[in-house]
Structure 1
Amino acid sequence: MRKQAKKTGDFGIGMMIHAVHMTDDVTKLNQFYEDVFGGLVYMGVDEPNFLPPEDRWAGLIMISDLCIETMAPNTPVDATKPVGKFYTKFGQHLHSVGYLVDDLVGLGNRMIDKGVYMGRPGGGKIEEMDPDTQYFYPSPRDTAGLMVELCKVHMQNDPRELGTWSSQRKFWETSHPLGIKRMLYVTLGVKDLESAVKTYVDVMQAMPIAEGVDDGGQYKFATLHLGDCLLQLAEPLGPHSPLGRHVAQWGNMIYSITFRVNDLDSAQQWLNGKGIRTSRPRPGLLAADPQDTFNAPYLFTTDVLEGDPFEE
């Protein structure tokens, strides 16, 4: 059975098509995800895909129900193009997320009406939605820091949209040493949690499901249901935690990805065996050292969130 997306809002924000991980070598990063996470590359299997309008190379790789787009700018890097500009400023870093939207024109017009700057593919501003527009990027300045691609085009050969998906996803939970049950949430570091939550509820019709304080991570948070995934907005309690240092350096920006797993000891043993250092910020949470994961903070937990709409 194919994955059934849980959509939100009036315009049908649905499947998270991918989370983008920026790098300088797509092939090398793909090999990392294959080796450590049991990732399945389904675009750019033999060589990375090149997209001229964005002047970038990329691959698509499944890890449980999360698709990672590995991306690198073409060389020499053109810092006038969005991909080259991001890489020039941030280097290797989690870049963005993307959502499939049923009514892209309707959502785009709503965001324009809310005063959101809309970026077109390859750069430039969208003043008015064109029915032929395939995807666009709201400015992170207007989304509390999250770079997000909103699109109406399904990813070709997406394993989640095939009839074999319900069988295939079992591999990561039952056969792979990490024991990944699902992607739990993407975390966005923010300077002002209350303002960020208001932005997502007002502009993108996200639905709050939980809030609290994470003592291990040293931040207060709000967890929102946005499309077919959860987004955690997190404000550091101080400047010296990993998230605190990230927000102090970069401001509001995507920070980490957390997986729900069967067993932390098994996950830790596997990661350490692959040369990835780990720590336990608190009981129930395992953190991989970003220096060993191409500067992408990955966390693993056995926590079950109260009110989680995706918990079966």
Structure 2
Amino acid sequence: MTIGHIFHLIHVTGDLAELEAWYDDVFGVRRGFLDNHYLEDEKRDASLVVLGDVVIEPLAPAFREEGWEDYPLGRFYRRFGNHWHSIAWYCEDDIALWHQLQSNGIRILGEAADQPPSEDPVPIFTHPNDTVTQLEFLPTRMAITGLDPRFKPDFDPQWWRTNHPLGLHGMAYTTVLTRDLRRATHTYTTVLGGTVVGQSSSALTGTDDVYIRIGHSLVQLSIPNRGGTLAADDLAAHGEMHHAVCFRVDDLDRAEDYLRSKEIKTVARDDHTILTDPDTTHGAPFRFTCPAPGAA
């Protein structure tokens, strides 16, 4: 059930054109993977855009379609508004993964809900209550894998470091908020096969954190340890869910100056990490980090 690269991170919005223009303007994302795509089965519009080593899916319910609010993504938007939604990974052995999830009591949604994948592969979606946030696993044998620009020989994930004002290396980690750190850690290690690579407490974010390597990416599981923070407010308002994405940059001061020029406000920072105001990033918390010299 090998889990590999992140397929995408979904950023839900009520104005897809505005959000896509923002990603183009602020990050200079690479396009051509999937643009302006409507999916009838989900009544949603979306694109896939590449930023460093990760793909982000700006997504909105198809408001023009009757009944959009009755579909899962429509219900999510009505409840949470603009927010990070979920994490999707590529997986090598989707059949083994399906059985692993089932045997551990993880509810599966979508076409694979009632029976394991067959010769015709389909994405596997988890129930968000069982995996802290919704997770998707896309079999690498599906055709869309071959369209991913990151797997093309001419793709340079360091382009944003050498050519963009942010000096962006790629994704450092993505954060999932939980009320039960032990249960969440069990799910992401024992069930999903991740490896704990660190634990810490952050005065900046006001959280206790466990860092888990899953496939090629790092997930930060976090529980707030005090109130009055972005994490605490998000958990109180929305419950357990996908909370933030953190990108590594070369120079934190330079990155903050650039973000300010794009009207993105800093809500808190220390010597190594910036937390941006989600009101200035379309409802989704972004972080930018520049590790101390000698840090991994």
TM-score using structure 1 length: 0.88
Quick check: 1:285–1:301 contact (8 Å CA) kept in 2?
Answer: yes
Deviation of 1:41 (Å) = 2.0
* Displacement of 1:279: 3.9
SS at match of 2:198: strand
Deviation at 1:128, TM superposition (A): 2.2
Residue of structure 1 in register with 2:209 after alignment = 221
* Distance across 1 between alignment mates of 2:54 and 2:117: 30
Counterpart position of 1:82: 72
Q: Secondary structure at the match of 1:107?
A: helix
Give yes or no for contact 1:17–1:67 (8 Å, CA) kept in 2.
yes
Q: Which runs of 5+ in 1 are unaligned?
A: 1-10
Residue 197 to residue 304, structure 1, CA distance change in 2 (3 Å): farther
Q: Which amino acid aligns with 2:150?
A: R
Q: Which amino acid aligns with 1:236?
A: P
Q: Where does residue 179 of structure 2 map in the other structure? A: 191
Q: Secondary structure at the match of 2:41?
A: helix
Q: Distance in 1 between matches of 2:27 and 2:244?
A: 16
CA separation of 1:176 and 1:303: change in aligned 2, threshold 3 A: same
Deviation for aligned residue 1:304 = 6.0
Q: Given the alignment of the two structures, is residue 297 of structure 1 paired with residue 285 of structure 2, yes or no?
A: yes
Correspondence for 1:237: 225
Query: Partners in 2 of 1:156 and 1:83 — Cα distance?
Result: 26
8 Å CA contact 1:43–1:49 kept in 2: the answer is no
2:61 is equivalent to residue 73 of structure 1 = yes
**SS, match of residue 49 in structure 2:** strand
Cα offsets for 1:227-259 (capped at 9, x unmatched): 220000001002221101111111211100001
Letter aligned with residue 160 of structure 1: R
Q: CA deviation at 1:171?
A: 1.8
What residue number does 1:39 align with?
29
Query: Cα deviations across residues 65-107 of structure 1 (Å, max 9, x unaligned)?
Result: 1110111111245232111111111111101111111110110
CA distance in 2, matches of 1:138, 1:194: 19
1:83 counterpart SS class:
helix
2:136 paired with 1:146? no
The CA distance in 2 between the partners of 1:305 and 1:193, in whole Å, is 29
1:219 maps to a residue whose letter is T
Match of 2:270 among 275, 282, 289: 282
CA offset at residue 44 of structure 1?
Answer: 4.7
SS at match of 2:70: coil
Partner amino acid for 1:14?
G
1:304–1:14 distance in 2 versus 1, CA, 3 Å: farther
Which AA in structure 1 matches 2:215? Answer: G
- Return the offset for 1:280: 3.9
Contact 1:30 1:41 in 2 (8 A): no
Q: SS state of the match for residue 172, structure 1? A: helix
2:89 aligned with 1:99, yes or no? yes
CA shift, 1:42, in A, is 2.1
Q: What corresponds to 1:116 in structure 2?
A: 106
Q: Deviations over 1:158-207 (max 9, x none)?
A: 11110012xx3222001111111110000001112122111211211111
Paired residue for 2:8?
A: 18
Deviations 1:246-297 (A, max 9, x none): 1111121110000111001110111111111114432211122111110111
Q: Partner letter of residue 90 of structure 1? A: F
Q: CA deviation at 1:25?
A: 2.4
Q: Distance in 1 between matches of 2:274 and 2:198?
A: 21
Asked if the contact 1:239–1:248 (Cα under 8 Å) also holds between the matched residues in 2, the reply is no
Q: Note if contact 1:140-1:146 (Cα within 8 Å) is conserved in structure 2.
A: yes
Aligned CA distance change for structure 1 residues 19 and 135 (closer, same or farther; 3 Å) = same
Deviations 1:105-132 (A, max 9, x none): 11001111111110015xxx71221312
1:42–1:158 CA contact under 8 A, matched in 2: no
Q: Is the 8 A contact 1:280 1:287 kept in 2?
A: yes
Question: CA separation of 1:156/1:219 partners in 2, compared to 1, >3 Å: closer, same or farther?
Answer: same
Structure 1: distance between partners of 2:239 and 2:292? 29
Counterpart residue identity of residue 17, structure 2: T
Number of equivalences: 290
